[in-house]
């Protein structure tokens, strides 16, 4: 997607809420790896997908600054619905909680700090939607941990599944993150338990529906 097309799209979709606009600016001025933040276009898509799926319980693996969690929380159609979001970096906790407190939907988000592989079993919850945007090396581990415990018609959204197109040549791009994404893409494409589609938005967004 060219910058011109992306700017055109942004000018013809719902505007970015003020609190998320401020959050995105803070990410770009205060944090490392600002590209990890979802941003306007992907954020509006996450909100709409959430509203379409109408989940009561959402799991997000990889909070980063809280932008995507708040977009998902916006899309919840019941004020009793909740997002469980897991962030492994302890130093991000104060920043994230500040953003949750500044949002009108922040009360819908439960923040968990620690390793998702340990936290997920401890939560022992039934999720209707899962959003994966964390350590690319272990996408397959997250998927395998969850898939047998998800009900039919549960949706999984996985971010960064085109990975700057590095997955097209894993012999040259054989770093652990690229190989982790490539393994995940192969795994879900061959798994008869899910329907799979990849949207070439930003760095690639995979949508899965458990059959």
In CATH terms, 3-210 corresponds, of 3.40.190.10, 2.40.370.10, 3.30.1370.60, 3.40.50.150, to 3.40.50.150
Buried b (16+ CB within 10 A) or exposed e, 107-127: ebbbbbbeebeebbeeeeeeb
Q: What is the pLDDT along the chain (211 residues), one digit of tens a residue?
A: 888 999 999 999 999 999 999 999 999 999 988 889 999 999 999 999 999 999 999 999 999 999 999 999 999 999 999 999 999 999 999 999 999 999 999 999 999 999 999 999 999 999 999 999 999 999 999 999 999 999 999 999 999 999 999 999 999 999 999 999 999 999 999 999 999 999 999 899 999 999 9
- Taking the complete model, does pTM exceed 0.85, yes or no? yes
Domains of the chain by residue range: 3-210
């Amino acid at each position: 997607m060219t910058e011109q097309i992306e700017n055109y799209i942004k000018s013809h979709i719902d505007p970015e809420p003020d609190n998320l606009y401020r959050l995105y600016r803070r990410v770009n001025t205060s944090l490392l790896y600002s590209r990890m933040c979802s941003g306007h276009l992907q954020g509006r898509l996450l909100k709409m997908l959430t509203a379409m799926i109408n989940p009561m319980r959402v799991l997000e693996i990889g909070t980063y600054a809280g932008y995507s969690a708040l977009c998902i929380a916006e899309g919840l159609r019941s004020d009793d619905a909740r997002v469980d979001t897991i962030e492994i970096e302890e130093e991000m906790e104060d920043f994230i909680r500040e953003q949750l407190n500044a949002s009108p939907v922040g009360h819908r988000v439960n923040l968990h700090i620690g390793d998702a592989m340990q936290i997920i079993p401890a939560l022992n919850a039934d999720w209707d939607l899962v959003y994966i945007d964390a350590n690319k090396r272990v996408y397959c581990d997250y998927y395998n941990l969850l898939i047998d415990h998800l009900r039919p018609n549960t949706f999984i959204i996985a971010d960064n599944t085109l990975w700057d197109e590095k997955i097209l040549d894993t012999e040259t791009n054989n770093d652990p993150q690229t190989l982790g994404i490539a393994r995940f893409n192969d795994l879900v494409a061959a798994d008869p338990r899910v329907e799979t589609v990849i949207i070439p938005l930003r760095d690639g967004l995979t949508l899965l529906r458990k059959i």
